[in-house]
Structure 1
Amino acid sequence: MKFILPILKALYRHKWLILIGTILVTAFVYYYTRHMRGDYDVKATLYTGVASGYNLESDQRTDWALVQNTMDNLISIIQAESTLKKVSLHLLARVLILGSPDKDQNGITAASYQYTYNHIANSPVGKELLALIDKNSEEKTTANFESYMKPVKENYLYGLLYYNHPYYSLNALKRIQVQRRLSSDLMDVSYSSGDPGIAFNTVSILMEEFVDEYRRIRYGETDKVIEYFRTELGRVGKLLRHQEDSLTSYNVNKRVINYLDETKEIAAINKEYELREQDVLFAYNSAKAMLQELEKHMDSNVKQIVNNLQFIDKLKEASAIAGRISEKESVDQNNTNLDAEKQKLSEVRGELNELTDKYIEHKYTKEGVARTNIINQWLDQTLLFEKAKSDLQIIQQARQELNDKYVFFAPVGTTIRRQERAINFTERSYLTILQSYNEALMRKKNLEMTSATLKVLNDPMYPISSNPTNRKMIVMAACAVTFLLLCAIIILIEILDRTLRDALRAQRIVKIPVAGVLPGYLSKYQKYYPEYMQFAMVKLSNVILRFLTERKSLDLYIVNLVSTTHGQGTEEVAGQLKNFWTEKGLRVNSISWQKDYEANSSAYKLAASLKDFYTPGDEDVLIVEYPPLEDNNLPEPLLRDANFTLLVASAKYGWKQTDNIANKILQSEIGTTPLYLCLTDASREAVESFTGLLPPYTLMRRLQYRFSQLSLSETMRQPLEWYKSKERQNVDEEEDDE
């Protein structure tokens, strides 16, 4: 309550300032917002098919985390800066191409076209920008704008995006709202703008650019992967073909059809030849031993036959035939020429028998062995020996060929296996890349299906009516804010201000009780000034007279008037007191430091009593006006030798720290002498707060006074009776005057 009452009174005192200031600001805001229009809302619904659409990559179960991530990606793509840039440039191109300055057409208002065209034409590069417009194609115009735009501050289109343009800036386009409908596949895209054509075309272009941007982002990733796998597939396929062709060429050069089967066959032939070689070698050794044994039993005549040239030729011929027969039998036992060779061998053998018969002289040898039998046996063994010898040569030759084949096939097998391993590795790599390539193609196909499901379910509609404006709220807010701001300023000033102004503030600041408040000159109520002063002097006189109970030096009642600085009204207070008391029949005199005594004289400065510089007359009350405390030191005996000390200060004066110091010194010097404060040059409200209601006593004045004193629940009877008593008092005074 210590500060509430002064604050409320201060607000009431400045009521007209608060009301007029609030009304002016409210009227200004109301006038300034007279052209304010509501925004036009445009809304479109987009079907994504993410949650319920068919997916080639996933199974029947729905991965909700993936669905949510995909929806978040779609929302981010719509609100991405790259998408908004394309929308801004495309919107600019559409307005300049399809718009008209005279009428609304193609969903574009004339106002938006004029604003956009003038904004470009009046720019420093207006001619360059207008030259980029292709009236026949929005796409070419947009491409020209994209090529022209550079990330520098001086570039018009770059500034158009990043400054605060109401239609084409990123700040304006970021007001696009994208929201998913619960957990469905639908997304709502909404945008508000002050121009219906701009709002409609912005959402329309956004739907187109969003799908294209989504495809560019998703297809860009997949196409790069597909291109990589396609390149790798071609490279590995080419390497695989080269390795296979190299293996084929190697097999052709080495005459290898089937390495495993051929080596198995060679191993089987080698084993067969080993067995035959053993048999042939056994027959060869047997025949050779038999020939040696038979030659031991031959005589000289028989040996001559053997050495006979004709016999030798026939024998060689028989050996050759036997060799051919043996060779043919070893190669192909079903040879048709084998019988002819055998027939010829029989003929040659017969001829040999005939030759031997011609040279045989004795039928038996000395051992008793028939020579004919020996010759026949020798001939047979010779043929067998030649046959075995021929077979052994053939077998040994075949074994040598087999050995050569082993030498040939050993590195061939290693090389073939190495090439086959390389081909196998390359083939596996090829199959792996082919699988990855197919998966990438499948992913692309899935993305095509996903992109195909991105459809605008509800197309944006051209708005006809705008939303209600918040003009009323703005005006109301301006009114409330202005009112509260003015109140806050007044309260702050009330708290910080140290101007004395009225009795309550003066008592709080100076910290001494207030004895009276004298009015200043009031031009509006000039005729009531004597009455105001009369009421004020009654209050002041009543306070002072309570302390005039004991006469001081010179057998007088002494009232001291002091002030802290010049111009506080001590002379006026002294004069008013003197006149008022004189009218009441008191003998009063007043002395002043300006005309009755010298403040700088030694008699004053060293005075122990008033009689040192003043000689009294027949007065009962002496009013002493002292010089200001800021320039002079008041003698302590004079201050103590008084019935009452009145500190005079102007209500318009701001109490300073020097005044506090002077006040404390004064309080310490006066001792037990009563010290009170008197305000001069006060307003009527300040006087009324001390004296009560002052004339004129109209109903409005009484109500104002009632509210100023916070007599909110006071009944009207008491003021009426008080008013009647005042009227009777005024009539009585007028009669007395007459």
Structure 2
Amino acid sequence: MKYTTYFIKFFYRIRYWLILAPIIVALLVYWQTRHTSHSYSASCSIYTGIITGVNILSESGIVTTAYTQGSMMDNLLNIITADQTLKQVSLRLYARIMVYGDPNKDNTYVNAANYRLLYNHADPIHHLIDKSSENDSINEQRTYENLIAYETNDPSNYVYGIYQWNLPYVNRGALQQIDVKRVGTSDVIEVFYTTDDPGIVYQTLLILIDEFNKQYQDLRFGETKNVIAYFRAELKRIGNELANSEDSLTIYRVDNQVINYEDETKHVAALNRDYELQYWQSLNDYNVSDSIKKELEKRMHLNTEIIQNNNSFIFHNNNISDINEKLAMAKYYSKDVIPQKMIDSLYNELEANKKALSDALQKTGYLKYSKEGISNEGVVDEWLKQVIAYKKAEAELKVLNERKIYMGKKYIHFAPIGSTLTRKERLVDINERRYLAILDALNAALLKEKSIQMNSATLKVMNPPYYPLVASTISKHRLLTIASYFATLFFTIFFFLIIEILDRTLHHVFKAEQLTKSRVIGAFTRLLPLKARRFNQTYNMLSAQTLCNSIITYFKPNQNNIINLISNEPGEGKSFVMAQLVQQFTERGFDVTQLSWQNEYSAAPQAFIQSLKLNELVPLEKSNSKNNVILIEYPSLKDATSTEDILQDVSLNLQIIDSRRTWKNIDQQLFERTREMCNKTPLFIVLNYTKRDTAEEINGLMPPYTFFHKLFYRISQLGFTANDKPLQNV
């Protein structure tokens, strides 16, 4: 509670400073900034659609987390406020101002005064401003391109300094005033901009929206397009490797006449198996027929040689051998190579030659009987049969021997083809898998690109910027005035608060009690000047009454009431306070005795203290009277040191302090030593030369009793709802 009242009174004490200082400073600022231009504001809203918009990923069921969504929105905000974006806005805005600006007339692009300022400052680059075309849009683009081409990272380069220097409206500091924020948790971004030129505000936002869309697409699509280009290049390279490996496999198959290696090798194995069976069968037939033929020839003796030398026999026998050889070879060829008709013809021809051979033997009658006259007809027929079988087996063996060479070549042909084909097919498979993997990655990148395209397509301007026709509600002029008023107000409070904290002057009760760690029971005001001086006597009387009331509570019955008046330094008002107390105690019927070291003795201050005997001060007939009051004024503690007996054998001690002077460390030391010497005897403080509000803390409300005076006093006492009117009929 005491701190609350302390601060209320603190503000009351500096009330004139709080009222006058801010007003004076605000008036000065208002006068100095009376020609300040007005501020114009414009805004726009952009719907991004990143979170709630439809894209391929969301349609696929892929859900993004809240953290990812927040990061995506933060990225958009950072793109808008990025230095690269603002630099492009700066150069494009500068080019637009230079092309569309008019030095004599304001327009929707720039005010004439601002155009003249920027144009006159740009003497080194006037040749870059292109106005050759009738189409100003073309002129703007050409000027922008000229600025880009002219710019170098050189401090002396003017274009480089357009964004880096303090060139108004187009420098970094001006464009960084653009306020970009997200609307709650939605997909909407709001952009605000304020400056003193309505045309520049409007054009800046238009360029910023366009540049933001470009920068966003460059960043998003640039990364994705690079990935897509990489995958396409890899797909082309691996596709070429795949085609080369496939072509190599095809050429190898063609060169080696291999269509299906596994089936063909199985077929070769089957042919070899059939060959082995046929070979051994033919060899067996050959040996059997040869053996039987030789046995029959032994039995036939000379007839055999005659038959074998017969021209007709030889002819038909050779024909039969040739036909058997052809038929043997026909077994190993398909019907497409040797038609069935030809095979049938060979069989017919074989039967005809057999019959012709048999007929030729039948005509040789001398062969029917041997030399001994035994019939040879059965033997000759059997011999002829065996000869035919022999020739057949011989033909087949001849063909099979050729087939054996052919099968050997087949094995030699197919043996290395298998491993080579496996290696080439494995290479084709590896390249094919690589190709498919790159193709999948390319499809994923294309899907991502399409998703980004859908997202980018949702970057729509919901509320386009409008050209501001009216200045902002609070102009810069008014804003500076209001700001200066409150700044001065806070500075004044802070300044006096610092002084209040650091000040060691006991000019009010709270400060005195905080520094001295002792209680204040009385306060006398300083002499008031001018018309308030009529209350001086009243204030002294009220202060003395309050002090007497407090002192009386410490009187002890059946003994003299001695009150010591002490001070640290001379001239602090002990005599004045004693005079006021004497008057009050006398009016209240007390027998007052006053003793002052200045009036009673002419000795030195310390001698007065040493010679003082408290029990001898009152006559015997008045001793032990409860109405006796003895007031003793001592020399200052700076001049003379008090003793314990004169400080303890009294009712109470009053330390008189001039509230106008500084409470120094030595004062505190003297006061603490005095308090220790007093022991249990009360030691209180009486402030002298205080202000009225300080005296009211002890004495209560003091005149004049005006409305505002009583109102403030009630507020300082926290009596906000109090009713001070006296009750009627009580």
TM-score by length of 1: 0.67
Task: Give the one of 284, 287, 290 matched to 1:288.
Answer: 290
| In 2: Cα distance, 1:421 partner to 1:47 partner | 50
1:21 is matched with which residue? Answer: 21
Report the secondary structure of 2:188's partner residue: strand
Once the two structures are TM-superposed, the CA of residue 109 in structure 1 deviates from its matched residue by 3.4
Q: String of CA shifts for 1:404-431, please: whole Å, max 9, x gaps.
A: 4344334435544554454455445544
**132 and 76 in structure 1: CA distance in 2 versus 1, 3 angstrom threshold:** farther
Distance across 2 between alignment mates of 1:329 and 1:43: 99
2-structure distance, mates of 1:140, 1:167: 19
User: CA 1:138/1:48 → structure 2, altered by over 3 Å: closer, same or farther?
Assistant: farther
Please tell me whether the aligned partners of residues 605 and 639 of structure 2 are also in contact (alpha carbons under 8 angstroms).
no
Q: Is 2:605–2:635's contact at 8 Å kept on the other side of the alignment?
A: no
Does the C-alpha gap of structure 1 residues 265 and 170 become closer, same or farther in structure 2, counting only changes over 3 Å? Answer: farther
Q: Indicate the residue corresponding to 1:93 in structure 2.
A: 91
Distance of aligned partners of 1:267 and 1:109 in 2 relative to their CA distance in 1, 3 Å threshold: same
* 2:335 counterpart of 1:324: no
Instruction: Work out whether residues 87 and 205 of structure 1, in 8 Å CA contact, stay in contact via their aligned partners in 2.
Output: no
2:453 and 2:511 map into 1 onto residues whose CA distance is: 83
Deviation at 1:230, TM superposition (A): 2.3
Mean Cα displacement is larger for which, 219-228 or 675-684? 675-684
Q: Which residue of 1 aligns with 2:568?
A: 564
Q: Match for 1:137 among 139, 142, 147?
A: 142
Q: Measure the CA separation in 2 of the matches of 1:5 and 1:266.
A: 119
Does the CA-based 8 Å contact 1:563-1:627 persist in structure 2?
A: yes
SS at match of 1:177: strand
Residues 609 and 269 of structure 1, relative CA distance in 2, 3 Å threshold: closer
2:603 counterpart (582, 585, 598): 598
CA-CA distance at 1:463 after TM superposition: 1.9
Other-structure match for 1:240: 242
- 1:633 maps to 641
Q: Distance in 2 between matches of 1:500 and 1:212?
A: 70
Could you list the runs of 5+ residues in structure 2 that have no partner in the other structure? Answer: 131-139, 331-340, 553-560, 586-590, 618-628
C-alpha change, 1:532 and 1:387, in structure 2 (3 Å) is closer
Work out the CA distance in 1 between the residues paired with 2:253 and 2:472: 87
Does 1:177 pair with 2:178?
no
1:214-252 CA-partner distances (Å, limit 9, x unpaired): 322332343234333323332333233323322333233
Are the equivalent residues in 2 in contact too, given 1:79–1:174 (CA < 8 A)? Answer: no
Q: Distance in 2 between matches of 1:29 and 1:167?
A: 27
Residue 202 (structure 2) pairs with residue 191 (structure 1): no
Question: In 2 relative to 1, CA 231–328 (structure 1 residues): closer, same or farther, beyond 3 Å?
Answer: same
Matched residue type, 1:630? K
Secondary structure of the corresponding residue to residue 572 of structure 2: coil
SS of the counterpart of 2:179? coil
CA distance in 2, matches of 1:255, 1:158: 75
Partner of 1:41, secondary structure, is strand
Q: Tell me what 2:258 maps to.
A: 256
Rounded to whole Å, the distance in 1 between the matches of 2:431 and 2:240 is 10
Helix, strand or coil for the counterpart of 1:664? helix
1:204, distance to aligned residue in structure 2 (A): 1.5
**Shift in alpha-carbon separation, 1:393–1:450, aligned structure 2, 3 A:** same
Do 2:40 and 2:201's aligned partners in 1 also have CA atoms closer than 8 Å?
no
**CA deviation vs aligned residue, 1:28-52 (integer Å, no higher than 9, x gap):** 5655665474441222444759856
Counterpart-to-counterpart distance in 2, 1:477 and 1:428:
72
Taking the aligned partners of 2:62 and 2:393, their CA distance within structure 1 comes to 91
Per the TM alignment, residue 661 of structure 1 is displaced from its structure 2 partner at its CA by 3.6
The 3 A distance-change label for structure 1 pair 633 and 329 is: closer
Task: Confirm or deny that 1:664 pairs with 2:675.
Answer: yes
Q: Is the 8 A contact 1:45 1:458 kept in 2?
A: yes
2:540 and 2:82 map into 1 onto residues whose CA distance is 81
Q: Distance in 1 between matches of 2:413 and 2:354?
A: 39
Rounded Cα–Cα distance in structure 2 between residues aligned with 1:433 and 1:603: 114
2:405 is the alignment partner of 1:394: no
Change (3 A) 1:131 1:626: farther
Gaps of 5+ in 1: 547-556, 613-620, 717-738
What CA distance in whole angstroms lies between the structure 1 residues aligned with 2:646 and 2:433?
125
State how far apart, in whole Å, the 1-side matches of 2:350 and 2:83 are: 103
- Match 1:652 to one of 649, 660, 669: 660
State the partner residue of 1:212.
214
- 1:199–1:348: structure 2 CA closer, same or farther, 3 Å change rule? same
Q: Secondary structure at the match of 1:334?
A: helix
Matches within 5 A, 1:187-586: 187-195=188-196, 196-257=198-259, 259=261, 262=264, 266=268, 277=279, 280-298=282-300, 302=303, 305=306, 311=309, 319-332=317-330, 334=342, 364-365=369-370, 367-370=372-375, 381-382=386-387, 384-413=389-418, 415-416=420-421, 419-420=424-425, 422-424=427-429, 426-431=431-436, 433-438=438-443, 440-445=445-450, 447-456=452-461, 458-469=463-474, 499-501=505-507, 511=519, 513-514=521-522, 517=524, 519-520=526-527, 524=530, 563-569=567-573
Q: Which residue of 1 aligns with 2:624?
A: none
Q: What's the RMSD between the two structures over aligned residues?
A: 6.2
Partner residue, 1:549: none
Show CA shifts across 1:316-364 (max 9, x none): 666544322222233357267888898889889988999x88xx7x985
**SS in structure 1 of the partner of residue 466 of structure 2:** coil
Distance 2:405 2:547 in 1: 162
Alpha-carbon separation, structure 1, partners of 2:411 and 2:542: 148
Q: CA 1:454–1:684 in 2, change beyond 3 Å: closer, same or farther?
A: closer
Identity %, equivalent residues: 26
Closer/same/farther in 2, CA of residues 323 and 266 from structure 1, 3 Å limit: farther
Equivalents in 2 of 1:246, 1:644: separation in Å?
A: 125
Q: Which amino acid aligns with 2:43?
A: V
Q: Matched residues in 1 for 2:696 and 2:53: separation? A: 83
Q: Distance in 2 between matches of 1:437 and 1:75?
A: 27
The alignment partner of 1:597 has SS state of: coil
Deviation at 1:468, TM superposition (A): 0.8
2: distance between equivalents of 1:526 and 1:258? 130
Q: 1:483-515 CA deviation, whole Å, 9 max, x = no partner?
A: 67756876786788664557998799664754x
Higher mean alpha-carbon deviation, 461-470 vs 66-75, is at: 66-75
Match of 2:625 in 1: none
In the alignment, the residues of structure 1 paired with residue 419 and residue 494 of structure 2 have an alpha-carbon distance, to the nearest angstrom, of 103
Question: The residue matched to 1:42 in structure 2 has which SS?
Answer: strand
Distance 1:449 1:420 in 2: 43
Which amino acid letter does the alignment assign opposite residue 237 of structure 1?
A: G
Quote how far apart the aligned CAs of 1:9 are.
Answer: 5.8
Q: Which residue of 1 aligns with 2:557?
A: none
TM-score (norm 2): 0.67
Residues matched between the structures, number? 666
* Equivalence for 1:617: none
Secondary structure at the aligned position of 1:148 is classed as coil
Partner AA of 1:289 in structure 2: S
Deviation at 1:600, TM superposition (A): 7.3
CA spacing shift, 1:453–1:331, aligned 2, 3 Å: same
Give 1:709 deviation, angstroms: 6.3
What is the CA–CA distance in structure 1 between the aligned matches of 2:296 and 2:508, rounded to whole Å?
A: 176
Give the match for residue 104 of structure 1.
106
The 3 A distance-change label for structure 1 pair 116 and 596 is: farther
CA contact (8 A) 1:517 1:540 kept: no
Taking the aligned partners of 1:64 and 1:261, their CA distance within structure 2 comes to 49
1:371 & 1:658 partners in 2: Cα distance? 175
